[in-house]
Amino acid sequence: MVDRLKEKIAIVVGAGQQPGDTIGNGRAISILFAREGAKVMLVDKNLDAAKDTKSMIEKEGGESFVFEADIVREDDCRKIADKCVEIYGRIDILVNNVGIGEEDKSLVRLSEEIWDKIFDVNLKGMFFTCKYVLPVMEKQEKGSIINISSAAAVSAVRYVAYKISKSGVNSLTHQIAMKYAKNGIRVNAIMPGLMNTSMAIEGIARNTGRSKEEIIKA
């Protein structure tokens, strides 16, 4: 199917990816949105990674532009919404795809610094982006927000900060969905399981001592 998102304006936060041989969620979402006719704002802290995604979209004839932002900074998130409205006049779709789990540990071994870092990226950044996109969608009386959570939110896992932060994503999503449904805004969370992404492969290799090549083949 094509053109299901024709002329829609989409922001994908985390549109680049970690280096690796497989494609990440944010890049895949961005490319697929463009294939369906959306104009995609590619947001990432790593500008070069976002530019790589843009090149892939352009090779297929799609439209996108890159924007550098660190979502743990509230002002950066305000600028994301402002820039999209400046260029396109509206925001139809927001995808919050950024998440980290590096250095997470069991409860008694986890430092405050790493706890704060994971929560800042996984939850606070999502709060910031929604905070500034929602008023735009509210004026439009329509819009869709997709928050990438994780099956870890409802599973027994070894490490705590990632799991609890993703549980927070689910709660935030539910809260916003109930509040803004009357304004024509849909808000949903997707909870992927283990996927063949660079981030997942790196994490498994680090935690198990196996090579990345072995994990990919498995």
Active-site annotation holder among 88, 132, 159, 162? 162
How much is the pLDDT for 2? 78
Q: Is 159 among the residues known to form the active site?
A: no
pLDDT in the model for residue 77: 99
Buried b or exposed e, range 91-122, using 16+ CB within 10 angstroms: bbbbbbbbbbbeebeeeeebeeebbebbbbbb
- In angstroms, the CA 50 to CA 56 distance is 10
pLDDT, residue 107, reads 84
Domains of the chain are 9-217 (3.40.50.720)
Specify the pLDDT at position 52: 97
The predicted structure's pLDDT at residue 171: 99
Q: What is the pLDDT of residues 24-52, one digit of tens each?
A: 999 999 999 999 999 999 999 999 999 99
- The pTM (predicted TM-score) of the whole model is 0.89
**pLDDT tens per residue, range 68-88:** 999 999 999 999 999 999 999
Tokens for 118?
């994971």
Three-state SS string over 85-109 comes to HHHHCCCCEEEECCCCCCCCCCHHH
Which pLDDT belongs to residue 213?
Answer: 62
Q: What is the DSSP letter of 153?
A: G
Spans of the chain, pLDDT less than 50:
201
What's the rounded Cα separation, in Å, for the pair 7 and 121? 30
